[in-house]
Structure 1
Amino acid sequence: MNLLSNINQTMNTLIQTVQQSVVRVGNGRSGFGAGTIWHSDGLILTNAHVVQGHREPEVTLADGRSFPAQLLATDETTDLAALYIAANNLPTIELGHSSQLKTGDWVVAVGHPWGVIGAANWGTVIAVGQPLEQNGYRGELVQLGIQLRPGHSGGPLVDGNGRLVGINTMISGPQVGLAIPVDIAKKFLQEKMGSGGTAV
């Protein structure tokens, strides 16, 4: 019983910490997606499909503050977009390495499925690094035994140590979700903005 209690306490602490770095990204329509604070000075990463057709989305932080966002870069082939808001001292998630993920590793996906703010789902990695082409995306994806839903898009995928290892992106089946490896996100930011080494 103590073991289960310790696991629950550890997971609760991890999720509560990660939730502080998850934002809502208004897409100018009726719904919204999620975003992940990448840099404490206002750099946010989300999915390209979340901001598609809306160049100035509104970003709402976990503390309830809202900011107009500037779209800095987008890439539909990797389904990634970078936003900037005029805020600083924002909470970030320690960056991990998706190349170190292994099949069977426990991971947690955080987002706003169906409008439920900061919801967390956990499961295991099914496969890593397999090239896939789906819904216009071309590249490697992390396949998860997690039910992702509309609103998870753009939110963080973290490992058991709370490190960012992916960006939630799409549903592959009833029990399978897909995430963009954080190593691809780093490369996207380096190519588009000369950034992405470490979160600060």
Structure 2
Amino acid sequence: MMETTRDFVALADVVRRITVEVIGNDTALGSGVSWPRGHVITNAHVVRHARVAVRSVDGRQLQARLLVRDAEADLALLSLDAADLPTATVADAARVRIGSLVVAVGHPLGMRGALSAGIVHAIAPVVRGGAPWIHADVRLAPGNSGGPLADVSGAIVGVNAMIVGGLALAVPIARVIDFARSAGVAVP
């Protein structure tokens, strides 16, 4: 459990290191999560073209190409020219529960590496019969899409996607893992 402001600052640093900015035509499109072996997971609605760039936390801009895009799951997988970025740690999906403290990191409205914190409000479909989403009371804005939703250890519990009814929605990590594996990519 987090006890001090210093713990929270350390958590922010961990999650910021694995968060990249996705760029197309010199315009920020959203965020992404650094994945093993030079891959990035982001939202499908963030990446609509075969070639984009990502900017790492240290400011390097790397060329990336779209490998797989699933509009229904709102997930996309990018491949980078470099494989030396820090990679995400994945949370145990069963540990994500209503009331869990979570943080979101992204690049909203031109603010690089912005952090928002809150709790998991619900894990439920948006529409009857649909796939479950993590509903969290973290503040998201354009530019957060594709970035990580992490637990207090810094492990990724989901990929932020949108805002509905004032709540942030994230693709649960179990779906992200299934997506990555179906593309033949290792899970951190």
Same fold per superposition (TM over 0.5) = yes
**Distance across 2 between alignment mates of 1:36 and 1:145:** 20
**Distance across 1 between alignment mates of 2:54 and 2:173:** 21
Q: Give per-residue Cα distances to partners, 1:131-172, cap 9 Å, x unaligned.
A: 2249xxx52100001121101001001001111110000011
Match of 1:132 in 2: 126
**Distance across 2 between alignment mates of 1:157 and 1:117:** 16
Runs of 4 or more consecutive aligned structure 1 residues displaced over 4 Å after TM superposition: none
Residue 172 in 1 paired to residue 164 in 2?
yes
TM-score, normalised by the number of residues in structure 1: 0.87
**Distance across 1 between alignment mates of 2:29 and 2:65:** 16
Q: Please list, as runs of the form range in 1=range in 2, the aligned pairs for 1:50-89 lying within 5 A after superposition.
A: 50-52=46-48, 54-89=49-84
Match of 2:177 among 171, 182, 186: 186
The answer to which structure has the higher helix fraction is 1
Q: Please list, as runs of the form range in 1=range in 2, the aligned pairs for 1:96-107 lying within 5 A after superposition.
A: 96-107=91-102
Question: Which has the larger displacement, 99-108 or 75-84?
Answer: 99-108
Sequence identity of aligned pairs in percent?
36
Match of 1:48 in 2: 44
Match of 2:112 in 1: 117
Instruction: Indicate if the aligned counterparts of 2:22 and 2:28 stay in contact, CA closer than 8 A.
Output: no
**Distance across 2 between alignment mates of 1:84 and 1:75:** 15
Q: Give per-residue Cα distances to partners, 1:26-81, cap 9 Å, x unaligned.
A: 13374420010011x211000000012x2101111111111111100010001000
Cα deviation, residue 94, structure 1:
1.1
Q: 1:48 is paired with a residue of what secondary structure? A: coil
Root-mean-square deviation (Å): 1.7
Match of 2:139 in 1: 147
Instruction: Give aligned pairs, total.
Output: 186
Q: 1:195 is paired with a residue of what secondary structure? A: coil
Instruction: Indicate if the aligned counterparts of 2:162 and 2:169 stay in contact, CA closer than 8 A.
Output: yes
Amino acid at match of 1:85: L
Q: Give per-residue Cα distances to partners, 1:92-119, cap 9 Å, x unaligned.
A: 1211123321111100000011110000
Instruction: Indicate if the aligned counterparts of 2:21 and 2:28 stay in contact, CA closer than 8 A.
Output: no
Q: 1:29 to 1:64 in 2, by over 3 A?
A: closer
Match of 2:149 in 1: 157
TM-score, normalised by the number of residues in structure 2: 0.93
Q: 1:78 is paired with a residue of what secondary structure? A: coil
Instruction: Indicate if the aligned counterparts of 2:66 and 2:79 stay in contact, CA closer than 8 A.
Output: yes
Amino acid at match of 2:153: N
**Distance across 1 between alignment mates of 2:20 and 2:92:** 22
Unpaired runs of 5+ residues, structure 2, are: none
